[in-house]
Structure 1
Amino acid sequence: MNDINFIKLLKKEEPFLDHKNAVLSAPIRHLFMIGVVWHLNKQRRNINLLEIGSWFGASTLSWAQGIIKFADKGSSITCIDAWMPFFDMDIHTNEIYAKEMEQLLESDFAYNVFLHNMGTIKNKVKTQHFRGKSENILYQLKSNIYDIIFIDADHTYEPVKKDIQGSLRLVKEGGIICGDDLNLQLNEIDKNNALKNKHKDFIEDPLTKKKFHPGVTLAVSEVFGEVSSWGGFWAMQKINGTWVKFSLKNMEVIYPNHFTAEHTEKAKSHFNDIKDSLY
């Protein structure tokens, strides 16, 4: 099912996420993406969103669903992704998921699935994308133009830090910067071990025995300290020029309508497990 010609046979109006690599992180995090749009709906109706790292477009579709429900028709989504191999395979040579992602990028399968999925919302939300490295694109953008910036690209330390730093000036007052895959915050891990492995995508923490992305944990902590976090999705809001935590208490829980039955079931099960400790 990794043949580009297969994509041409898909129904143009239906998203394609029935692929084992389509939703790489915990599906529950998409609920909080929509929740962030719900949160901003209290303050503004027009939302302009920047997504750094789009892959197949699953998260883009979730953001779009939130915008369609909670924002006005003047809202927009801009995506940045190189859709090119990025793993250092000398370091990640034994990681099967890395090899699979590299193949999907090299063949342009991931990019073409993204284009297909964006086509399913073209008449509902204004979208555009820039194909290239975020570090080469972010600095060219105007300051204070986005209400939400979502970071979900290369998870090793240097790229995460660059994406965060390059995004800060782009967020409007009252806006939100957020990201995926903050499995553990700095106060939960062995920091020295994380520093030794910050060039790696995914490792096990010796203290908790849990797997996490050391680059994400370190970079987020260095810029913001402790952040708002729900099920691995992190966020901070810009209030009077300062980055502060915020709550999604009483948010409307919405499951993405583009999810497969398996994704939805995973999200529901995970949400039920953690909902009492979320806020």
Structure 2
Amino acid sequence: MENNNTTRGEDRVKAVNQNLAQSRRAAIMAALARKAFTDKVKALEIGVWYGAGSTNIWLDNFMPGSDLVLVDAWRPYASSADVSGDDFGAANWDYAKMDSLSSEAFLSAFLNVRKFENEIDDKNVSLIRGKSSALLPLFKEGCFDFIYIDADHKYESVKADIVNAKRLVNKKFGIVCGDDLEKLPTPELVDLARQYKDRDYIKGDYGYHPGVCLAVSEEFASVNMSDGFWWVVCKNGEFLTDQLGLEYLQAE
């Protein structure tokens, strides 16, 4: 006889997308990881969720011997404005359900790492549960060659993650990148974002994550972007967009 509790749990998991790395975006992410480094790297992923999207891209494309540190709070993150919703809120996105799956997401990420270790195990993977704002200051300056940011998308959290990433990235050569920058910052989008700092996403004619847009605009003069994925190169302490650009990553 089928266990109804198990069935309901599986339905809840299926109702929320576990792999948020779409195909076009994933191709650029993979190319960046593969082309930026020809040797093993020390990489940090801030925001892991199910560990079924970006995490697999890094595991597949970084060189053997690389170190990958995965950090996520795996706890409810939606603001009251996100959950209550309105005509300007995210369409077709159930924040309450998303928050309720944080434990399942943590278990999935753990099992994904264990599966990798059992089948390939050519990289060192560390899984750390905790708020990035509390954990990232514990790492020493310049200790990561590659940092990917895709955690809480509200402004204060994104801002803190980027500030920490700029301190932690290898100043000689490193990459800081992230997700959910659907539109490059413009004065109009930045002004609107300042009104919705507590929102994950706003729709209407805009369709973007205001916190990501605002934080990126404040911390970088410019960034490369493709299909929401953004990146900059840190070289000799400067953050640049004229290296590892989109055309170079698309060329094989």
Instruction: Work out whether 1:81 is the aligned partner of 2:77.
Output: no
Counterpart contact for 1:35–1:253, Cα < 8 Å: no
In the alignment, structure 1 segments of 5+ residues that lack a partner are 8-16, 255-279
Partner of 2:249: 251
Partner of 2:139: 141
C-alpha displacement at 1:46, in angstroms? 1.3
**TM-superposition CA deviations, 1:176-224 (whole Å, max 9, x none):** 000000001112743322211121111136xxx1300000000001000
For normalisation by structure 1, the TM-score amounts to: 0.76
Deviates further, 93-102 or 161-170: 93-102
Deviates further, 46-55 or 122-131: 122-131
For normalisation by structure 2, the TM-score amounts to: 0.84
Cα distance in 2, alignment partners of residues 91 and 249 from structure 1:
36
Counterpart contact for 2:44–2:68, Cα < 8 Å: yes
**TM-superposition CA deviations, 1:139-167 (whole Å, max 9, x none):** 00011111110000000100000000011
C-alpha displacement at 1:130, in angstroms? 1.0
Counterpart contact for 1:38–1:251, Cα < 8 Å: no
Counterpart contact for 2:82–2:95, Cα < 8 Å: no
Whichever residue aligns with residue 165 of structure 2, its letter is S
C-alpha displacement at 1:20, in angstroms? 4.1
Whichever residue aligns with residue 29 of structure 2, its letter is M
Of 239, 242, 255 in structure 1, the residue corresponding to residue 235 of structure 2 is: 239
Instruction: Work out whether 1:101 is the aligned partner of 2:98.
Output: yes
Counterpart contact for 2:50–2:108, Cα < 8 Å: yes
Counterpart contact for 1:31–1:253, Cα < 8 Å: no
Cα distance in 2, alignment partners of residues 159 and 4 from structure 1:
35
C-alpha displacement at 1:3, in angstroms? 4.8
**TM-superposition CA deviations, 1:207-262 (whole Å, max 9, x none):** xx1300000000001000221111110001111211001314343689xxxxxxxx
Counterpart contact for 1:39–1:248, Cα < 8 Å: no
Cα distance in 2, alignment partners of residues 253 and 66 from structure 1:
16
Q: Given the superposition, is the C-alpha separation of residues 134 and 253 from structure 1 closer, same or farther in structure 2, using an over 3 Å criterion?
A: farther
C-alpha displacement at 1:59, in angstroms? 1.2
**What fraction of aligned residue pairs are identical, expressed as a percent?**
32
Of 27, 43, 46 in structure 2, the residue corresponding to residue 49 of structure 1 is: 43
Cα distance in 2, alignment partners of residues 24 and 34 from structure 1:
14
Whichever residue aligns with residue 197 of structure 1, its letter is Y
Instruction: Work out whether 1:37 is the aligned partner of 2:36.
Output: no
Q: Given the superposition, is the C-alpha separation of residues 249 and 38 from structure 1 closer, same or farther in structure 2, using an over 3 Å criterion?
A: farther
**TM-superposition CA deviations, 1:103-143 (whole Å, max 9, x none):** 101xx111111111111211232100110000000000011
SS in 1 for 2:18: coil
C-alpha displacement at 1:89, in angstroms? 2.7
More helix by share: 2
Map 1:91-130; keep pairs closer than 5 Å. 91-94=82-85, 96-105=93-102, 108-122=103-117, 123-130=121-128
Q: Given the superposition, is the C-alpha separation of residues 104 and 241 from structure 1 closer, same or farther in structure 2, using an over 3 Å criterion?
A: same
C-alpha displacement at 1:19, in angstroms? 6.6
Q: Given the superposition, is the C-alpha separation of residues 2 and 237 from structure 1 closer, same or farther in structure 2, using an over 3 Å criterion?
A: farther
Q: Given the superposition, is the C-alpha separation of residues 239 and 204 from structure 1 closer, same or farther in structure 2, using an over 3 Å criterion?
A: same
- RMSD of equivalent CA atoms: 2.6
Q: Aligned pair count?
A: 234
